[in-house]
Chain A
């Protein structure tokens, strides 16, 4: 497995507060990764660490096997669109493309020009007068035309209206499918990413909650409902992510490697949104991945 982003014990502290804490993860290449978490969860910090905009306070991060921003060659392999898609307000659209061609050896000018044409952007227009959606598209064009192996996008659709959002993701997916680029895109709403991502990372309160392929996450989580029951009496291998109880009934969201055979339960699959919301809820105490042995109750 080739690792796109590998973090070990990664932490970033700003003065007294930790923006990201003890984050260990390995994102394999070839995925479209959704990085989801509430505002302030550390998504931007993780992406800025991955682009070398920040240096870690603790731990290490390697991107495509190299420390971020270590060399022009490493920089060339990673494309990045920052939050709020900054562009040079006083420069024209065409200047941005020239800038890209000057600063990137792998620059695909034909691709850049074609995208600008397709988007209907006027090359002579100043970037400062573009709409939010156009600006995001310009920033994405810059990132795509350098032909990166990995594309990191920080809340690229947050400021876009639903139509522009759909259009942005569609053009992103087209470009990605064409070049086989790995993508990490963050959002505080999983609904933004549901249609496009096949790998999911949930960050809450500066800590990693869950990471994995969407298909295996969906396969390994079930909603159980049935007569009221103490969750601690569940068999080993069924970890409770979320629970709610009434006087008579219990509803649980469990993570399990095997099918649930207990006939007392009504077992239903969970949607990605339900799953993410369960992991995002700070009240839910997420158990460790492996069932702890010797916990008898």
Chain B
């Protein structure tokens, strides 16, 4: 049965291997240069606050060479799209194509039970799907490691894609073990859709739609709550002095917005939400009118100082950097559980013999 699976899967496997090889070539050709730039930047031996400046310089150098931004984006997109493509082209046709062309009648009347037929197919193609996706992810992780370390020093190159930390949606989904979960899930989703719909092209469309919805819903609504977030209340001033990343924007009326990107003492943390509270701990969205007067804004302590003087502090909920692997494991476990449920359904469906 393994030999038949290989015979039928050969063409797709060759395509997958070719894609993997092209990806490897592209990254291997450019990765060493990034590494040498990192080595030359002095980041590996820096101390304390000098690191942030060195890191910023390094990232700006990278950004200046447009090719790297482009490669970074393409490589991340490839890893994100790989599970979907696998689900569409490996998963959906697995059963649907046999039903569509009638060859299921040939395959399922040899001296091999349907259960074994499906088990071998799912195992061989499913493992290949996971291997290809994780292969892409590991290669990109190696390639982008210097960028990740520089970002980890708290630097950002000002809104470019090189400022994404490990929890950024695109980075979290393309590194660690989550690609394994996505690949397994997308593949079995395709197989299940094919078994249900019995026609390849509609099954592909349904697979794509469901996978896209899941891939959007999980980071937006589920991932932040997989583990209970930590909360902290910090003075507005300290933000200003340590990270320079608090910006007062828009003084329309007397409301204001604080944009916090880094949490002091928590490098690499994932900020989920922030708000402002007054001295009594109640949420406020307005500042005292006095803080908006030009004399205050031009004074040495400035607008932020004025807020602090009036007891306004910032409350932040976040996932500390140490939660990275627990979150990776939890999310991957969710996808693998979905995969198992779909697999169980496929076996049940096939053995009910409604084909």
Q: Cβ of A279 < 8 Å from any Cβ of B?
A: no
Q: Cβ of B102 < 8 Å from any Cβ of A?
A: yes
Q: If the complex has contacts A82-B102, A86-B105, A102-B3, are A54 and B355 also in contact, measured as CB distance less than 8 A? A: yes
Collect the chain A residues with CB atoms within 8 Å of residue B353's CB: 52-55, 69
Collect the chain A residues with CB atoms within 8 Å of residue B7's CB: 91, 95, 98-99
* Of A71-79, A226-234, A265-273, the one touching chain B: A71-79
Collect the chain B residues with CB atoms within 8 Å of residue A276's CB: none
Collect the chain A residues with CB atoms within 8 Å of residue B355's CB: 53-54
User: In whole angstroms, what is the CA distance A91 to B8 when docked?
Assistant: 8
Q: Give B263-289 as 1s and 0s: 1 = Cβ < 8 Å from A's Cβ atoms.
A: 000000000000000000000000000
Q: Cβ of B212 < 8 Å from any Cβ of A?
A: no
Q: Cβ of A146 < 8 Å from any Cβ of B?
A: yes
Collect the chain B residues with CB atoms within 8 Å of residue A34's CB: none
User: In whole angstroms, what is the CA distance A107 to B272 when docked?
Assistant: 63
List the 3 shortest-distance A-B pairs measured between CB atoms, nearest first: A82-B105, A86-B102, A103-B110
Give the Cβ gap from B21 to chain A, nearest Cβ, in Å.
24
Q: Cβ of B22 < 8 Å from any Cβ of A?
A: no
User: In whole angstroms, what is the CA distance A89 to B4 when docked?
Assistant: 15
Q: Give A65-98 as 1s and 0s: 1 = Cβ < 8 Å from B's Cβ atoms.
A: 0000101110110111011101111010001001
User: In whole angstroms, what is the CA distance A213 to B292 when docked?
Assistant: 104
Collect the chain A residues with CB atoms within 8 Å of residue B112's CB: 72, 75, 103
User: In whole angstroms, what is the CA distance A102 to B111 when docked?
Assistant: 9
Give the Cβ gap from B116 to chain A, nearest Cβ, in Å.
8
Q: Cβ of B252 < 8 Å from any Cβ of A?
A: no
Chain B residue with the shortest CB-CB distance to A70: B113
Interface contact A76-B111, CB-CB below 8 Å: yes
Collect the chain A residues with CB atoms within 8 Å of residue B8's CB: 88, 91
Interface contact A75-B102, CB-CB below 8 Å: no
Q: Cβ of B106 < 8 Å from any Cβ of A?
A: yes
Looking at the complex, which one of A52, A83, A104 makes contact with B110 (CB distance below 8 Å)? A104
How many residues of chain B get a CB closer than 8 Å to chain A's CBs?
Answer: 23
Per the 8 Å Cβ criterion, residues 114-131 of B in contact with A are 114, 116
User: In whole angstroms, what is the CA distance A129 to B355 when docked?
Assistant: 26
Looking at the complex, which one of A55, A98, A105 makes contact with B111 (CB distance below 8 Å)? A105
User: In whole angstroms, what is the CA distance A88 to B11 when docked?
Assistant: 14
Q: Cβ of A100 < 8 Å from any Cβ of B?
A: yes
Chain A residue with the shortest CB-CB distance to B114: A69
Chain B residue with the shortest CB-CB distance to A82: B105
Give the Cβ gap from A110 to chain B, nearest Cβ, in Å.
18
Collect the chain A residues with CB atoms within 8 Å of residue B114's CB: 69
11 contacting pairs across A/B (C-beta < 8 A): A52-B109, A69-B109, A69-B114, A73-B111, A79-B109, A80-B109, A84-B102, A86-B101, A98-B3, A104-B110, A146-B110
Q: If the complex has contacts A53-B108, A95-B7, are A71 and B102 also in contact, measured as CB distance less than 8 A? A: no
Collect the chain A residues with CB atoms within 8 Å of residue B105's CB: 48, 51, 53, 80, 82, 86
Interface contact B102-A103, CB-CB below 8 Å: no
Collect the chain B residues with CB atoms within 8 Å of residue A73's CB: 111
A-binding residues in B (CB < 8 A)? 1, 3-4, 7-8, 101-106, 108-114, 116, 352-355
Q: Cβ of A259 < 8 Å from any Cβ of B?
A: no
Interface contact B113-A82, CB-CB below 8 Å: no
Collect the chain B residues with CB atoms within 8 Å of residue A9's CB: none
Collect the chain B residues with CB atoms within 8 Å of residue A76's CB: 111
User: In whole angstroms, what is the CA distance A105 to B101 when docked?
Assistant: 26
User: In whole angstroms, what is the CA distance A99 to B110 when docked?
Assistant: 9
User: In whole angstroms, what is the CA distance A88 to B103 when docked?
Assistant: 7
Give the Cβ gap from B202 to chain A, nearest Cβ, in Å.
19
Interface contact A69-B113, CB-CB below 8 Å: yes
User: In whole angstroms, what is the CA distance A102 to B110 when docked?
Assistant: 9
Interface contact A102-B4, CB-CB below 8 Å: yes
Interface contact A142-B354, CB-CB below 8 Å: no
Q: If the complex has contacts A53-B355, A55-B353, A103-B4, are A72 and B106 also in contact, measured as CB distance less than 8 A? A: no
Interface contact A75-B1, CB-CB below 8 Å: no
Interface contact A103-B111, CB-CB below 8 Å: yes
Q: If the complex has contacts A99-B4, A102-B4, A103-B1, are A51 and B109 also in contact, measured as CB distance less than 8 A? A: yes
Collect the chain A residues with CB atoms within 8 Å of residue B354's CB: 54-55
User: In whole angstroms, what is the CA distance A109 to B99 when docked?
Assistant: 27
Looking at the complex, which one of B3, B4, B106 makes contact with A87 (CB distance below 8 Å)? B106
Q: Cβ of A7 < 8 Å from any Cβ of B?
A: no
Chain A residue with the shortest CB-CB distance to B353: A55
Give the Cβ gap from B233 to chain A, nearest Cβ, in Å.
62
Q: Which of B102, B105, B112 has the most CB of A within 10 A?
A: B105
User: In whole angstroms, what is the CA distance A86 to B111 when docked?
Assistant: 17
Interface contact B111-A82, CB-CB below 8 Å: no
Q: A53-B109, A55-B353 are in contact. List 18 more A-B contacts (CB 8 A).
A: A52-B109, A52-B353, A69-B109, A75-B110, A79-B109, A82-B102, A82-B105, A82-B109, A86-B102, A86-B105, A86-B106, A87-B106, A89-B101, A99-B4, A102-B4, A103-B1, A106-B111, A139-B106
Give the Cβ gap from B63 to chain A, nearest Cβ, in Å.
47
Looking at the complex, which one of A48, A54, A82, A95 makes contact with B106 (CB distance below 8 Å)? A82
Give the Cβ gap from B316 to chain A, nearest Cβ, in Å.
57
Collect the chain B residues with CB atoms within 8 Å of residue A103's CB: 1, 4, 110-112
